[in-house]
Amino acid sequence: MPRRSRRIAGRPVMITGAASGIGRSLARRLSGLGSPVAIADVDEAGLNATAAMLSGPVFSRVLDVRDAADQLRFADEMREWLPAPLAAVFNNAGVAVTSTVAGAVPEDDDWLFQTNFWGVVHGTRAFLPVLIEQDDGVIVNTSSVFGLLGMPYQSAYCAAKFAIRGFTDALRQELRGTGVRAVTVHPGGITTNIARNARFRTDPEGLGRTKEQMAAQFEAVTMTSPDKAAAIIHRGVEHGKARILVGPDAYLFDALARIAPTHYYAVISRLQAGLRARQRESV
């Protein structure tokens, strides 16, 4: 079998969750490198804003990734639009929920699971046939460092991100011997709108913080910008990585998962306490 180029820059790509954050930065980066980009999101205004930032060919599509039938329609539309074989599919759209397990609101957890897990599954199933027909291309599914470790108040998010990792790892093995690859992305903290868009009913630690305050705390400890994240993800895909860790904290989480598989949170909670103390001092 001829060895295919892993280069995706300059070739068509599809990105969900492109109205904000990492998805928008991926669209800007790859479009800037000459890729025709198909961008999709449930947020039409944000999607239009992203499209306006791109100078090359764009196919912009309002899509709720939870809708399996609409993902299939989107894939059909893409077949019509594609100016060349599809190089990469970024199933990136995602949301967050903060709550204790005991206090979880089932419809919030369901919203998260439908978006973060089933959205990725529907996107993979809709676009995989296009790549298999070409015998070329890469499916890039966004998990998280919370797909490596379980974190308090993030039970649904962790469950969905662990599930994406399992789903994508299984797919990778099925694709052995073909020209199609499956990649799992594990970002650490990235400064995006994820915490501001999260569902939050009450401070899970009982400290009375508002959602705004929780989001600001999250953003203060993030180590990586969305543009930097997009660059790491893009380079990782082109280097043929099966698993991409994004940001220095992602490497720390990955190491802790191996070194201290049952005691990692003792280390993380100490680091978090130190960061919070530093935040208080700097106010």
Ligand X SMILES: NC(=O)c1ccc[n+]([C@@H]2O[C@H](COP(=O)([O-])OP(=O)(O)OC[C@H]3O[C@@H](n4cnc5c(N)ncnc54)[C@H](O)[C@@H]3O)[C@@H](O)[C@H]2O)c1
- Distance in Å, CB of 17 to ligand X, minimum: 3
CB nearer ligand X, residue 41 or residue 136: 41
Subset of 104-163 contacting ligand X (CB under 6 A): 115, 119, 142, 144
Name which of 47, 40, 189 is nearest 123 in CA terms.
40
Name which of 283, 279, 262, 281 is nearest 271 in CA terms.
279
- Distance in Å, CB of 20 to ligand X, minimum: 3
Distances (CA, A) of 29 to 7, 25, 32, 34, 139: 14, 6, 5, 9, 18
Distances (CA, A) of 63 to 31, 42, 74, 259: 20, 5, 8, 40
CB nearer ligand X, residue 136 or residue 148: 148
Q: What's CA 280's distance to the chain center, in Å?
A: 30
Six-digit token pair at 253? 């989480």
Mask for 77-106, x = binds ligand X (CB under 6 A): ---------------xxxx-----------
- Distance in Å, CB of 214 to ligand X, minimum: 13
Q: How many CB atoms lie within 10 A of CB 231?
A: 16
Question: Which of 12, 21, 204, 236: binder of ligand X (CB under 6 A)?
Answer: 21
Query: Judged by CB under 6 A, does residue 58 bind ligand X?
Result: no
CB nearer ligand X, residue 132 or residue 220: 220
Query: Judged by CB under 6 A, does residue 219 bind ligand X?
Result: no
Q: Quick check: helix, strand or coil at residue 34?
A: coil
Q: For binding to ligand X (CB under 6 A), which residues are involved?
A: 16-17, 19-23, 41-43, 46, 63-66, 92-95, 115, 119, 142, 144, 187, 189-190, 192-194, 197, 222
